[in-house]
Structure 1
Amino acid sequence: MPTPLYVASPSRLLAWLDCPRRYRMQYLDRPRPQARPQRAHTSVGIVTHNVLRDFWDLPASERTPAGVAELVRTSWIDVGFRDPEQSAAWRMRVREAVTDYLRRTDRDRQPVGLERSVSLKTSTMAVSGRIDRLDDRDGELVVVDYKTGRAVPTDDDARTSLPLALYAAATARVFRRPCVRVELHHVPTGTVTAHEHTPESLERKVAEAESIASDLRRADADFSEVGVESTRFAPRPSSLCTWCDFRAHCPEGQAMGPEKSDWEGLEPTAYETRDAS
């Protein structure tokens, strides 16, 4: 019998690269170890993505700042914030950031896809994921990924991103149309960084994903045989440990420093800056 394709997502592949132990706890352990509660910056990211998705379902007459404000209000996730005042300040900040971002967007040009699922099969793996936004630019498809964190992405981030390259390769196969441009849109600042792939660079990225999937196939099989005693899932301590959702179950991760607070990933708002002064 032929070997089944290894089924994965870009996030699963990257989890293995970040830390094999976190990968094991997140994807293999059953029951899965309890993860820490959601942080505030995750709530902000989810709301921002949902609003930018639902905005395009509004009638053209409602694609206004008032329409955005209503979407933010109804989509708001009040989890992880220090107190109600911080939550309210960030709700206003998200509303302003999304409104400013959309002002620089052609609101009459409907995207080809929003949170569109795409998949890519090779001789060894099947990878699937969701694209935040898929645009049609003069007959060519463009992959758009929203970013909401403090760090502003660079063109090099777009160039080296494995998920973006896999999305572009998958999109080209699904739609049978050219798709080589990938973009990172930093919503808080409106910064757009991009990279134009070539067929050769996309092939290299697909080969990189196949190599990771091959490692995962062996690691998963070893876990099925010996469980948590497998030596393939050694921790990879780094600064990421202070943010890890599973650090409570990892002594090596706890040794990397105190855990970040629920709202550590947020920048101070104007309200908080005034309050501090």
Structure 2
Amino acid sequence: MDPGSVVEGVGAGQAALPLTGVPEPLWAASPSKLLAFLDCPRRYRLQYLDRPSPEKRRQRAHTSVGNAVHHALRDWWDLPERRPDAGAGLVDRAWIDVGFRDAAQSAQWRGRMREAVTGYLADVDPARQPVGVERTVSFVSGELRLTGRVDRLDDRDGELVVVDYKTSRVVPTADDARTSLPLALYAAAVWKMFRRRTLRVELHHVPSGTVVGHEHTPESLARKVEQARSIARDARRADRDHAEKGADSELFPPRPGPLCGWCDLRAHCPEGQLAGPEKSDWAALDDADDRKEPRWTSE
């Protein structure tokens, strides 16, 4: 099966809209928006629907670390001379002291990421220009218009490969690459936009230099696109109910659990506050912290 047929909305088990009557506008989403609804409808409502938008807590340290590394790896491709050690200076330029316990912890992690980015870039061919760096991709399937951003898009032997950088303490596995909904949706979008076969997706863990990947099939990509459409249908139905009832809608139940300790909006969710203590700004950097990080922090 060509995933392009599903992306186009043909062959996905959905009848064409009748010619009489006005078709509904496309429902716009990103992979993070879909996962937010899937993980916790209450958080989804707070983030995407409630107005005025409730205030979020300040950025955590692991987000500051991840942003600096992503920006450094993006800007490296713009350098006139792409040396691995130049990555350290790019980390310095992108670094912000937000979320750390103190200046000493920030300096420690800044040094770690300087070394990590330099080591990672030592294995990157500077002459092999990617097809895209932080490239925005999108596709339409049925009533869903999905948009996302790919960290890096490589050309290997005539096929395109989706590369996603990771900076968390936990090293990803090949199963993480296989099951990732965002990676599969990026691959489907790239195939549609570039009209080139795109089946391989990879997670590059910068701190360890670990690279894990998965080779999708057209059928497995099509299943991921259909999964996204199913989530989108449920979310859109909830959106309509919220438009009518506001915060009184019952379609946004909280899902209390370990992720509540990481939620940026827990101050507005009584159930989430009762689920357990809030994680500190720097908790994800603590090797002694046995935790489960939310999926939305590492996208």
> The TM-score by the shorter chain falls in which range?
over 0.9
| 1:119 alignment partner, SS class | strand
- Paired residues, number: 267
The aligned residue for residue 83 of structure 2 is: 63
The aligned residue for residue 264 of structure 2 is: 245
**Identity over aligned pairs, percent:** 67
1:114 aligns with 2:109: no
Query: Post-superposition shift, 1:4?
Result: 1.7
1:26 aligns with 2:47: yes
Q: Which residue, 67, 70, 94 being the options, matches 2:113?
A: 94
CA distance in 2, matches of 1:262, 1:2: 46
Query: Post-superposition shift, 1:63?
Result: 2.2
Q: Provide TM-score, normalisation by structure 2.
A: 0.87
1:5 aligns with 2:8: no
The aligned residue for residue 274 of structure 1 is: none
The aligned residue for residue 227 of structure 1 is: 246
Structure 1: any 5+ residue segments left out of the alignment? 270-277
Query: Post-superposition shift, 1:198?
Result: 0.6
CA distance in 2, matches of 1:50, 1:267: 23
The aligned residue for residue 272 of structure 1 is: none
1:40 aligns with 2:84: no
CA distance in 2, matches of 1:253, 1:82: 24
Alignment of 1:196-207 (within 5 A): 196-207=215-226
Q: Is the 8 A contact 2:84 2:121 kept in 1?
A: no
Q: Is the 8 A contact 2:167 2:207 kept in 1?
A: yes
| 1:235 alignment partner, SS class | coil
Q: What is the letter of the counterpart of residue 149 of structure 1?
A: S
Q: In structure 2, do the counterparts of structure 1 residues 92 and 268 end up closer, same or farther at CA, with 3 Å as the change threshold?
A: farther
Query: Post-superposition shift, 1:268?
Result: 5.3
CA distance in 1, matches of 2:113, 2:154: 23
CA distance in 1, matches of 2:222, 2:190: 14
CA distance in 2, matches of 1:132, 1:25: 27
| 2:229 alignment partner, SS class | helix
Aligned CA-pair RMSD: 1.1
Query: Post-superposition shift, 1:87?
Result: 0.7
Q: What is the letter of the counterpart of residue 139 of structure 1?
A: G
Q: Is the 8 A contact 2:256 2:275 kept in 1?
A: yes
Alignment of 1:141-220 (within 5 A): 141-220=160-239
CA distance in 2, matches of 1:268, 1:201: 35
Query: Post-superposition shift, 1:73?
Result: 1.3
CA distance in 1, matches of 2:88, 2:149: 25
Query: Post-superposition shift, 1:115?
Result: 0.5
Q: What is the letter of the counterpart of residue 83 of structure 1?
A: D
Structure 2: any 5+ residue segments left out of the alignment? 1-21, 289-299
CA distance in 2, matches of 1:10, 1:72: 27
CA distance in 1, matches of 2:252, 2:245: 12
CA distance in 2, matches of 1:8, 1:116: 17
CA distance in 2, matches of 1:255, 1:78: 30
Deviations 1:92-147 (A, max 9, x none): 11100011111111122111101000001112211000000000001100000001
Q: Provide TM-score, normalisation by structure 1.
A: 0.94
| 2:283 alignment partner, SS class | coil
Query: Post-superposition shift, 1:64?
Result: 3.6
Q: Is the 8 A contact 2:204 2:212 kept in 1?
A: yes
The aligned residue for residue 49 of structure 1 is: 70
Q: What is the letter of the counterpart of residue 3 of structure 1?
A: E
Q: Which residue, 260, 275, 278 being the options, matches 1:256?
A: 275
CA distance in 2, matches of 1:229, 1:110: 52
Deviations 1:225-253 (A, max 9, x none): 00000000110111000000011111111
Q: What is the letter of the counterpart of residue 248 of structure 1?
A: A
